[in-house]
Amino acid sequence: MGDDRRAPYTGTDVPPVAPEADAAALAERYRLLLEFSLDAIAIHQMGTIVYVNAAAVRFAGVADQASLVGRKIVDFVHPDSLPAMTERLATLGRAVNASIGPHEVTMLDGHGVAIDMDVTSVRTVWDGRPAHQVILRDLAPQKAAAVLHQAALVDHVSDAVIGVNSGNVIRVWNSAAHRMYGIASADAIGRPITEVVGADTDADAVIALGGTLDTVHHRADGTPLTVRLAATEMPDGYLLVAKKDTSQRPLYERLGTILASLQEAVVLIADSGTIELANPAALRILDLPPSSVPGVDIRSLSLRFRTAGRLDEGVDDTATDVRPILEALAKGGGFSDRTVSLRRGGGTTAWLSCSCQVADLDGPSAAAIVSFVDITERHLTAARHEWDATHDALTGLINRAGILAHLDALLGSDTSEGRSAVYFLDLDNFKIVNDSLGHSVGDVMLQIVGDRLRRSVPEGGVVGRLGGDEFVVVAPLPDVEPQAIDDEVRRLHDALTPPIEVAGRAERISASIGVAAVEPDDIRSSVDLLRDADIALLQAKSSDRISYARFTVELRQHLQRRQILEQDMRAALADNSDELQLAYQPIYDLSTMRPVAAEVLIRWQHRTLGAVSPAEFIPLSEQTDLVDRVGEFVMRNALTDLVRDDWMYGLLCVNVSRRELSDTAVLTRILDLLDTTGFPADRLCIEVTESAVTDAPTTTRTVLNTLREHGIKIAIDDFGIGSSSLNQLYRLPLDIIKVAQPFVADLGESDHARAIMSGIVGMAHATGLTVIAEGVETTDQLATVVDLGCDQAQGYYFCRPSPIETLTEIYRG
């Protein structure tokens, strides 16, 4: 780079012709001037750098000259400065030594850091070809000196001088400001002025109001400070001068100071609808440019008054409706605390509380003083609370309160459109899915179900979630009710039928549905309707043959009786009441016709209802939490009744429900009762239904195996009415098969039934199982089961279920 042969000419005058030796010396002199110049110098041809001096290397922050030579000169010009520089170069003459500058240009060093510099461009010749020489001088020292000088001047001013940028962030804070506000410059600079002076302060707004504003600021300790604030626009922001106001100004001036310091928007509106005056808070709250006041028309703002009590009516927020203000101007008077929505320029909606009072200001026409308080946060909170009160957080559907409100509206309608039906849905076996896959997966499924139901209901219908896996649909009901209900139920089932893809599995969902129709002139309340749909749902869930049930008065009566029975059975079990009694039915050996076992049954003689059928209260107990208590009551009392030293009753058969077997707690209960009563385990037989063992979960199989290991017998009760086969039963821990009464009743009338019974007996005996025929009532039935090889039998032919005293007499007789 320092080669004499490439040394450029940088002067502004053409050098005189010199002898060769003098020319070489002159070139060397210029090279040294370039190299040791404090200004950065670069020479470029067609925009490519061909030479830089040491100062340019330092400016760029690179290792050496080679790091810069060959690069484009524009790489070192800030993008914001490039257009202006290009325009200036276009005006540069084509003669050698033509120059422009110096001009302030933002350059970039070798690392992309912006540096303000004075730049001069000169046409020159490099290596015999045209070139540009660029001379750059760093302005930082010069600017720093100017800043120090300015700061020194500002610091000696007695008034608070505050410089802010265009964003109203403090850049200058003099000593007087420190004394006035009690805040040091280090704590003020870099913070928004509103935050530092404790009042809403917008320099642009002050200028719009005439450049001077009387207002109230606050010192660091919170003390109010009345000041007169003057604002001036500067090239890079604003200069504010705050003077403490100690004068006794007229009342109207002091009122102006108060208005300026209010956080509440206050505007003066002429009868024409134009805003004539506005305090700073009004400019901010109403999203008004300072230059728009006076003169902006209130009708040009997207203000809309809302109906009392309605937070959001779903109307177009871009529309304007300021009729209450215009009516007040026309008629006089005013109003207070009306809710107004304001659509702001950024697309957001603000909620304001508006008050208006028309005043006579000694002019030919009236004017209205209107105030606005921003209540957006309060409104959104109220709207959220209102939404939360009527909606389910998980699915976004309306909740029970929302459903009841909708039903209230329907019941209050006296038109045909008010005819509807309530569909109460309960997802089948959802608890199993929820427990096995986890509650988070269950929540996703509930959201999907809710969305499907929402999309399936006809226009005018609503969908709600009551909690858990319960949903409610309220849909319009045409005149042809039965068919319409069938169609809607089918639509709901179809919506739920497609598999739900969750957790890598395809889960299928079905639902039981209870329906209650809103009848003409229906006097029921919304709560009654929901209750009646729930009653119908219980009926649907208790039946394996129907997918939905419609409410009837008989269903309600049935439920009321069921509720009474449940409460009274709970009380009877708690009191060990004598309403509950045990009855025993002996089982006879068909080879000796002697009793060898007995099945214990429970009977209920209700104190007011009389005898309650087991067909009614046993299913009731199995559908509630009473089943375990009933089972424990029967087994404890039976073991206590029959345990004695001179044991003579053979095997004691006790029924245990499917629900009891699904919990290992039943195992502990049975073994504990055997231990406390002293009843021999090998004399106890547990009877279970087909469905309890053929579809048995692991827990049930574990319980049965453990009981059998303790010597307890296991019997299948009512075999033949389920869907199991002997092939399935062979894999279970069984000792006895009890053939169901309906099957036994067909033996005398059906050769087919006889053939099947013969097969059952043969296969059971082949595997060591005992066969007991249940429900033997006639001599012919007895003869048939004996002929077919059954081992034992029980039924009314032998004896009805009787108290323990009767059983004892039978054994002794």
> pLDDT tens digits, residue range 536-551?
898 888 776 677 888 8
pLDDT of residue 738: 94
| Tokens encoding 47 | 């925009």
Distance CA 418, CA 5 (A): 103
Distance CA 25, CA 12 (A): 18
Which pLDDT band holds residue 17 (cuts at 50, 70, 90)? very low
> pLDDT tens digits, residue range 293-336?
788 888 888 888 876 544 444 444 445 688 888 888 888 888 88
pLDDT surpasses 80 at 145 = no
> pLDDT tens digits, residue range 185-216?
889 888 999 899 988 888 887 877 667 777 88
- Residue 38 has a CB neighbour count (10 Å cut-off) of 10
| Tokens encoding 660 | 């009891």
pLDDT surpasses 80 at 811 = yes
Among 477-481, 517-521, 666-670, the least confident range: 477-481
Which pLDDT band holds residue 275 (cuts at 50, 70, 90)? confident
Distance CA 102, CA 121 (A): 8
Q: Which residues, 6+ apart, have CB-to-CB distance to 636 below 8 Å?
A: 673, 677
Nearest Cα neighbor of 547 from 507, 509, 470, 490 is 490
Tell me: domain 143-258, CATH 3.30.450.20, correct? Answer: yes
pLDDT of residue 4: 39
C-alpha 275 chain-centroid distance: 43
| Tokens encoding 437 | 């896959």
**Which of 15-19, 414-418, 665-669 reaches the highest mean pLDDT?**
665-669
**Which residues of the chain are in CATH 3.20.20.450 domains?**
577-812
Out of 3.40.225.10, 3.20.20.450, 3.40.50.720, 3.50.30.10, the CATH code matching 577-812 is 3.20.20.450
For domain 396-551, the CATH superfamily is Reverse transcriptase/Diguanylate cyclase domain (3.30.70.270)
pLDDT surpasses 60 at 152 = no
Considering only the top CATH level, what class is 4-138? alpha beta
- 3-state SS of 264-326 is CEEEEEECCCEEEEECHHHHHHCCCCHHHCCCCEHHHCCEEECCCCCCCCCCCCCCCECHHHH
Q: Which residues, 6+ apart, have CB-to-CB distance to 294 below 8 Å?
A: 274, 275, 276, 277
379 vs 668 pLDDT, higher one: 668
pLDDT of residue 251: 44
pLDDT surpasses 80 at 724 = no
Which pLDDT band holds residue 146 (cuts at 50, 70, 90)? low
Mean pLDDT of 500-506: 81
Nearest Cα neighbor of 387 from 374, 396, 376, 395 is 396
| Tokens encoding 588 | 């006879």
**Which residues of the chain are in CATH 3.30.450.20 domains?**
4-138, 143-258, 263-380
- Prediction pTM value: 0.49
In the chain the first and final C-alpha atoms are separated, in Å, by 134
% of the chain residues with pLDDT over 90 = 25
3-state secondary structure of 48: strand
Tell me: domain 263-380, CATH 3.30.450.20, correct? Answer: yes
Q: Which residues, 6+ apart, have CB-to-CB distance to 138 below 8 Å?
A: 40, 59, 115, 116, 117
pLDDT surpasses 70 at 428 = yes
pLDDT surpasses 70 at 519 = yes
Q: Which residues, 6+ apart, have CB-to-CB distance to 556 below 8 Å?
A: 532, 535
Structure letter (DSSP) for residue 77? B
- Residue 184 has a CB neighbour count (10 Å cut-off) of 13
| Tokens encoding 52 | 């830089």
| Tokens encoding 537 | 């749902």
Mean pLDDT of 503-523: 83
- Cross-strand partners of 463: 473
pLDDT of residue 5: 36
- Cross-strand partners of 437: none
pLDDT of residue 722: 61
Q: What share of the chain is helix, strand, coil (3-state, %, to 5)?
A: 40, 25, 30
- Residue 763 has a CB neighbour count (10 Å cut-off) of 17
Using the CB atoms, write b or e for 557-572: b if 16+ within 10 Å. Answer: eebeebeebbebbeeb
pLDDT of residue 591: 94
Identify the sign of the CA torsion 504, 505, 506, 512: negative
Q: Are 263 and 270 in contact (CB under 8 A)?
A: no
% of the chain residues with pLDDT over 70 = 85
722 vs 683 pLDDT, higher one: 683
Distance CA 756, CA 791 (A): 16
pLDDT of residue 592: 94
Q: Are 587 and 794 in contact (CB under 8 A)?
A: yes
3-state secondary structure of 414: coil
Q: Are 650 and 595 in contact (CB under 8 A)?
A: yes
> pLDDT tens digits, residue range 590-616?
999 999 999 999 999 999 999 999 988
Which pLDDT band holds residue 150 (cuts at 50, 70, 90)? low
